Structure 1
Amino acid sequence: MRYDVSIIGLYILDVLGRPVTKIPDRGNVEFIDEIRLTVAGTAGGTVVDAAKLGLKCLAVGAVGDDEKADFVIATLQKFGIDASAMQRLKGIPTSATILNVRPNGDRPALHVRGASDHFEVAPETYDQVFDAPIVHLGGTGLLKKLDGEPSRILLQEAKKRGRTVTFDLIAASAETIKIVAPLLPFIDYFMPSIEEAKDMSGQGSPEDCAKFYLDQGATCCVFTLGAEGAFYAHQDGTRLKVPAYDINVVDTTGCGDAFDAGFITALHRKMDPEQSVRFAQAAAALVATGLGSDAGIVSFEDTLAQMKKWRVKS
């Protein structure tokens, strides 16, 4: 196969500034320490981090025909990612977010939906899109044209071709379960945050949330629990709660995307479940130590070294 992973879905340009304590009145100016541009989104952030972790990646998504698209494509190519499956849509802006990162790491956002609302995967592209043993769909909930039945058809085809499917979403609510539930039988690793898992299922604990999704067909649930770590539940009966690393958090933007990239890398490297979760947490923790969705991640070897060096929370 040409790629280690094919990463499909939400591609965004993030404009981040920190630390932001207030928005200035009238036309006044507040001075901050740092501004960055990054490729982000539940697919974009994941593919950049996966490439930095050493995987050969295909990016599958959509951008507009503006200057933001130029930056997104150039950045993907800079990290050695194959961007030939990225669609450039005329007359539509690239999806983008302005993030005002507070001193405590919170990040209120202003978002333009843009090209990701118009993205779809045509059957004639399947041979390239599925030319990887792992297929990740990221961004369900903000993929207006792909959400729902088109995503079910896409993931069904991935499983028909024998691919391992990983999945994450964004901006989930109680209503989102309507578009997620039909996908679950085709998902090997279902990886939302615990807040999203609770909102969609109506359940109160990681264990109960996992039972809800496993009963509907998912093979494995891997929930990020923020400062509490992560929870892993497989159809084979394996249950793991892995504590978070003890780090100084700068910005939580893209931590979930980095977790996805770390877990996908662990699957590629054939790590066992506990090592896979720990490695994914290390990737997420590195991102949390800097500004933006790819901050902190240098390489697979560096992430592995950090994983072994950091203490976990007691």
Structure 2
Amino acid sequence: MTAQFDAVIAGHLCLDIIPDLSAVSPDRFPTLFQPGQLREIGPATCSTGGAVSNTGLALHILGVPVRLMGKIGDDAFGQVVRRIIDAYDPRLRDGMAVDPQASTSYTLVISPPGIDRLFLHCPGANDTFTAADIRYDLLERARLFHFGYPPLMRQMYRRNGDQLVAVFRQAKATGITTSLDMSLPDPSSPSGQADWPAILRRVLPFVDIFLPSIEEILFMLRPNDYRRMVAQAGSGGILPLVTPGLLTSLGRELLELGVKIAGLKLGDRGFYLCTAGQDALASLGRAGPADLAAWAGRELWAACFQVRVAGATGAGDATIAGFLTAFLRGLPPEEAVTAATAVGACSVEAPDALSGLRPWEDTLDRVRRGWPRRPLTVNAPGWWFNPAYRIWQKT
């Protein structure tokens, strides 16, 4: 069957409501929520958030024909979500689920100047999302299925991930190429207490492309290492502690769990890719590359591009969108990791998830014109710098 669109993006979707608190000085913020007070603030802006919005709309901006599969309520916030998506293209939400019994997920983003942001989040319909909310008939008409943020969706991690496994088993049965992204759970939450090693062992045999962050996969697969690194890093974050040996070890472990292509998002240290052998890649599904040999047994590390950072919201989702766009266009892995870091870099040039993104050809042209990368040196056996793509690769 000829695909009518390239990708379906499913999973977490919410409405972000961001009141303008620019007139609230840092010294006044502690009194902002005193009971019985009326405080005057600026107008609110609304945008969609979550993997469905951030990755799905990024793919649309990059020129990929895509459909979105989030779940919302039949309420006022749900109408706002639909209007925001319709402003891009009403066809995008052909696969959306509307539940009259559920409320639309929303987040109040409290972000006064000079103070760390505070989020007040209602999970809403995301917590009722199950395998039955996936339109498998649409998957049969697409090449790629991407699902994002199961740790933020209660039914996806309950009972050792029964619903998540059902989603990917049924998706894979349609012949589509499957892709999965994660989010970092709160360790004290029910999601943080879930048995993620067991969940991953069950679901990853049905996942072709796995694209978590380094923090997420360490938390889920190697919690003791994650806690040790967090304690060692202090407030600076664990990224400086990530070594080539750690990446190789994690990449190989993910391949052993059934993943065909593992990509790890490394924040300002770039993007790491590890792929399975040619025999395993042969089962990638409809979006699989024509040149399997070019993708087989590869290990690459691409540095970020240099930008002035305005905000990191949605940067990981944009990175994924860049990688998946290159993959869907049949580009080799060297160009796919370059696209991932390029689109991610464009994203952080704006404070929100999407307004910094450029059309696909504009993004590639920026790379071709010699867009400088951030410094990255990989001092480990077998690694060498490929000057043609300005990335590191392992022999």
User: Match for residue 230 of structure 2?
Assistant: none
Q: Among 69, 72, 77, which residue is 2:81 paired with? A: 72
- For the residue of structure 2 that corresponds to 1:8, the secondary structure is strand
Give the TM-score of the pair, scaled to structure 2. 0.72
Q: Give the 3-state SS of the residue equivalent to 1:38 in structure 2.
A: strand
1:70 is displaced (CA, Å) by 1.2
Contact 1:174 1:200 in 2 (8 A): no
- Aligned equivalents of 1:105, 1:221: Cα separation in 2: 36
- The alignment partner of 1:132 has SS state of coil
- 1:282 & 1:40 partners in 2: Cα distance? 21
Output the CA distance in 2 between the equivalents of 1:168 and 1:69: 24
Bigger RCO (CA 8 Å, 6+ sep): 1
Partner of 1:312: 373
SS at match of 2:181: strand
Contact kept? 1:105, 1:252, Cα under 8 Å: no
Per the normalisation by structure 1, the TM-score is 0.89
1:234-273 to 2 correspondences below 5 Å: 234-236=275-277, 237-273=297-333
Q: Which residue of 2 aligns with 1:194?
A: 214
1:54 counterpart residue number: 63
- In the TM superposition, residue 35 of structure 1 has moved relative to its aligned partner by 5.9
1:167-194 superposed Cα distances (whole Å, 9 cap, x missing partner):
1012345743332331111111110111
Q: Identify which range, 165-174 or 269-278, moves more after superposition.
A: 165-174
| Residues 97 and 133, structure 2, Cα contact 8 Å, conserved in 1 | no
- Counterparts of 1:259 and 1:130, CA distance in 2: 26
SS in 2 for 1:98: strand
Bigger drift between 234-243 and 74-83 goes to 74-83
In the aligned structure 1, how far is the partner of 2:347 from the partner of 2:164? Answer: 29
Q: How does 1:79-158 map to 2 (within 5 A)?
A: 79-80=88-89, 81-100=91-110, 107-122=117-132, 125-147=135-157, 148-158=161-171
Number of the residue aligned with 2:174: 161
- The Cα of 1:140 is off from its aligned counterpart by 1.0
Aligned partners of 1:14 and 1:4: how far apart in 2?
27
Deviates more, 1:272-281 or 1:177-186: 177-186
Q: Rg bigger for which structure?
A: 2
* 1:217 alignment partner, SS class: coil
Letter in 1 for 2:305: Y
For structure 2, the 5+ residue unaligned runs are: 186-191, 227-245, 278-296, 376-395
8 A contact 1:255–1:288 mirrored in 2: yes
Q: Do the aligned partners of 2:271 and 2:340 also contact (CA within 8 Å) in 1?
A: no
**Distance of aligned partners of 1:97 and 1:221 in 2 relative to their CA distance in 1, 3 Å threshold:** same
Partner SS for 1:43: helix
Cα distance in 2, alignment partners of residues 30 and 133 from structure 1: 50
Corresponding residue number in structure 1 for 2:342: 282
Query: Quick check: which one's helix share is greater?
Result: 2
1:170 aligns to 2:183 (yes or no) = yes
| CA shift for structure 1 position 135 | 0.5
Q: Give the SS at the match of 2:93.
A: coil
Task: State which of 6, 9, 12 in structure 1 corresponds to 2:11.
Answer: 9
**Counterparts of 1:153 and 1:207 in 2: how far apart (Å)?**
29
Partner of residue 267, structure 2: 226
CA offsets, 1:219-269, max 9 Å, x none?
Answer: 121011001111111113211111111111111111111112111111111
Residue segments in structure 1 that go unaligned for 5+ positions in a row = none
Matched residue SS, 2:258: coil
Contact 1:39 1:293 in 2 (8 A): no
Identity %: 27
Aligned equivalent of 1:44, options 24, 42, 53: 53
Partners of 2:333 and 2:115 in 1: CA distance: 29
SS of 2:198's equivalent? helix
Q: Hey, what does 2:255 align to over in structure 1?
A: 214
Give the match's secondary structure for 1:295. coil
CA distance in 2 between partners of 1:267 and 1:248 (Å):
27
Q: CA deviation at 1:101?
A: 5.2
Are residue 183 (structure 1) and residue 203 (structure 2) matched? yes
Q: Is the 8 A contact 2:10 2:147 kept in 1?
A: yes
Give CA deviations for 1:54-93 in whole Å, capped at 9, x if unaligned: 1111111201122221121122222224312211222432
Cα gap change, 1:206/1:294 in structure 2, threshold over 3 Å: closer, same or farther? same
What CA distance in whole angstroms lies between the structure 2 residues aligned with 1:277 and 1:311?
15
